[in-house]
Structure 1
Amino acid sequence: MGVNPITNLGKRAIGHLSDRRFAASSGVWTQSKFIPNQLQCRALVQSPRNSIKTGNCHTTRPFYVFTPRHLYSSVPSYSNKKMGFLAWYLGLLESRPILTKSVSSCLIYAAADLTSQMITLTPSSSIDLLRTLRMAGYGLIILGPAQHGWFNFMGRVLPKRDLVTTLKKLTLGQLTYGPFVTGIFFSFNAALQGENVGEIAARLKRDLIPTMMTGLLYWPMCDFFTYKIIPIHLQPLLNSSFSFLWTIYLTYMASLKKVLAGLVKLHHDVRTCEYEDVHVLWEMLKKNETGIARSAVGRKQGQLWNIVNWAKRAPFFCHSV
């Protein structure tokens, strides 16, 4: 009356083995875990041979999807390579935020300083690796933790991202955070070069205000984009990325020669003299000081200090203050 059930079972087993053999040679059979049971039941209602009826629904066998071997092996590896570094970096930001931001700032400042040196490099000069180490140390020790603290503080105090809140963050950054980190940058760099307190103060008096005024042309638009769009945990990274171009300028400013504190005092003393001939001495001092700024280190210092010593030995020419 019907076909022997054992014969049907044997045919189905042979077909299953041949399918597995084909999958091993040309592709991969993967069990679908993403198709809902209801869809599987609905799709197999018209094929009772592949399902077992239980109640109102058919409980199906595992649903297999065939993928050719070259697609199965290449697509995930390409995605992993593309997203691997980003996922790794985001994981470090989550597990070790301060260290990750510090190392990022260190690398960016080192790269920016090397770029700045190569731009201004002359054929007779070479790369100053000590200067690069100073900049990298600033990024690692000071800027990374400072960025972490500042952006998290802004996120807690002003959590919104509307236009008014963003402008408040931008203004606070320009008035407090910007001058603080720039002043620390100049002081840190000068101290590592062996300058004393008076020389550091003279450098800040000379360089800080011009640097901040130049920063007003660059940082407001960078900060607006950072505060308005970027999540808090990625804001230090973007800020350091914007710092790359800024640091090229900043490292150039930090590499300028130190201010001669004694010369500053002498300028003040000469201005207080009451004799008419002091104008001649003042012009000589300015001319020699300009020569020092434009020449190599120490080329004109001998001439200048000869004039200084001559002025000190002439009490009839200028009274003391």
Structure 2
Amino acid sequence: MNTSVLRNGNKVQTIWRSHYVSDSIGVPIHRSHVRREPQLSKAFYSRFPGRKTKDLEFSVPVRSISNKTNGRTLLGSITNSAAIGWYLGMIKTRPILTKSITSALIYTAADFTSQTMTRSSSEAYDVIRTFRMAGYGMMILGPSLHFWFNFVSKVLPKQDLFTTFKKIFMGQAIYGPIMTATFFSVNAALQGEKGKEIVARLKRDMLPTMINNVLYWPVCDFITFRFAPVHLQPLVASKYFLMPHKPLNTSGL
């Protein structure tokens, strides 16, 4: 708060200047008033030759408020930013390993969700099946997504609308059928099926699965190719396995 002594004719006014002062809860309070002082002698002004005004500055302590809620929010934001930064750094330094682990975790969550949606209340979770899905995501899907998206970005480097549709077509015509056949074959082999049984499974399940692929994956591919950078496209594509659709009967893009 500032105060000034002004001489106005034969009278002196002490003017308390307006300031905003925070009270104990941080709410600004406006204080301003003028009060009359008795006439001062000339000796008072003789102490300040050449000046008729003397400004005296007073410091007003303002209580600082620490908002614990905002502090926790800020700490959470910093933590989240650090985790995201660490993940992005891992994608650049160890891309195949990072994308493989990510696919394994997503496939594990997808299979857990699938069993929750389809099993009856009396059935137990098939843990072996979940491990098979995690292994498929780790060993096959993660690395293949890395190489596929890098290949497509080199062949079709643009991200315009027409190029995006060409990438979608490539996914449905090339990558989708290959990965669907691989998924059925590997899953059947891990369950103990032999060559003829695997071929019979492919004849039975491939066509219905490819039809489901065409109805579901092009929309996901459009978002992935159009808006996601190349190094994050496997992550964006993998997360669609967690969305509610016919559980794990598709493995192409």
SS at match of 1:250: coil
- Offset at residue 79 of structure 1 (A): 3.4
2:104 is matched with which residue: 103, 106, 129?
Answer: 106
**Are 1:115 and 2:113 an aligned pair?**
yes
Relative to total residues, which structure has the larger strand share, 1 or 2?
A: 2
- Offset at residue 116 of structure 1 (A): 1.0
Deviations 1:134-155 (A, max 9, x none): 1111000000000000001111
**Root mean square deviation of aligned Cα:** 2.3
Distance in 1 (CA, whole Å) between partners of 2:211 and 2:122 is 33
Q: Which amino acid aligns with 1:173?
A: G
SS at match of 2:247: helix
**Are 1:225 and 2:223 an aligned pair?**
yes
Q: 1:182 to 1:208 in 2, by over 3 A?
A: same
- Offset at residue 80 of structure 1 (A): 1.2
Q: 1:116 to 1:201 in 2, by over 3 A?
A: same
Task: Point out which structure has higher relative CO (alpha carbons under 8 A, 6+ apart).
Answer: 2
Q: Which amino acid aligns with 1:225?
A: I
Distance in 2 (CA, whole Å) between partners of 1:78 and 1:191 is 45
TM (norm. structure 2) is 0.68
Asked if structure 2 preserves the Cα contact closer than 8 Å seen for 1:106 and 1:139, the reply is: yes
Deviations 1:220-271 (A, max 9, x none): 11101111111001100000011223785225x89xxxxxxxxxxxxxxxxx
The corresponding residue for 1:271 is none
Asked if structure 1 preserves the Cα contact closer than 8 Å seen for 2:241 and 2:248, the reply is: no
Distance in 1 (CA, whole Å) between partners of 2:219 and 2:181 is 21
Deviations 1:286-315 (A, max 9, x none): xxxxxxxxxxxxxxxxxxxxxxxxxxxxxx
SS at match of 1:249: coil
1:243 is matched with which residue: 241, 244, 248?
Answer: 241
Q: 1:240 to 1:198 in 2, by over 3 A?
A: same
2:147 is matched with which residue: 131, 146, 149?
Answer: 149
Distance in 2 (CA, whole Å) between partners of 1:161 and 1:85 is 28
Q: Which amino acid aligns with 1:101?
A: K
The corresponding residue for 2:180 is 182
The corresponding residue for 2:169 is 171
Distance in 2 (CA, whole Å) between partners of 1:225 and 1:77 is 32
SS at match of 2:239: helix
- Offset at residue 70 of structure 1 (A): 4.2
Q: 1:79 to 1:126 in 2, by over 3 A?
A: closer
Distance in 1 (CA, whole Å) between partners of 2:141 and 2:244 is 14
- Offset at residue 110 of structure 1 (A): 0.9
Relative to total residues, which structure has the larger helix share, 1 or 2?
A: 1
Query: Matched residue pairs, number?
Result: 186
Q: Which amino acid aligns with 2:92?
A: E
Asked if structure 2 preserves the Cα contact closer than 8 Å seen for 1:227 and 1:235, the reply is: yes
2:131 is matched with which residue: 124, 130, 133?
Answer: 133
- Offset at residue 164 of structure 1 (A): 1.2
Q: 1:239 to 1:104 in 2, by over 3 A?
A: same
Using the aligned pairs only, state the percent identity.
51
- Structure 2 stretches of 5 or more lacking a match? 1-63
Distance in 2 (CA, whole Å) between partners of 1:142 and 1:247 is 22
Asked if structure 1 preserves the Cα contact closer than 8 Å seen for 2:224 and 2:233, the reply is: yes
Deviations 1:52-105 (A, max 9, x none): xxxxxxxxxxxxxxxx6948x948634312312211111111111111111111
Asked if structure 2 preserves the Cα contact closer than 8 Å seen for 1:109 and 1:139, the reply is: yes
Q: Which amino acid aligns with 1:222?
A: C
Deviations 1:92-129 (A, max 9, x none): 11111111111111011111111111112223321110
Distance in 1 (CA, whole Å) between partners of 2:222 and 2:231 is 16
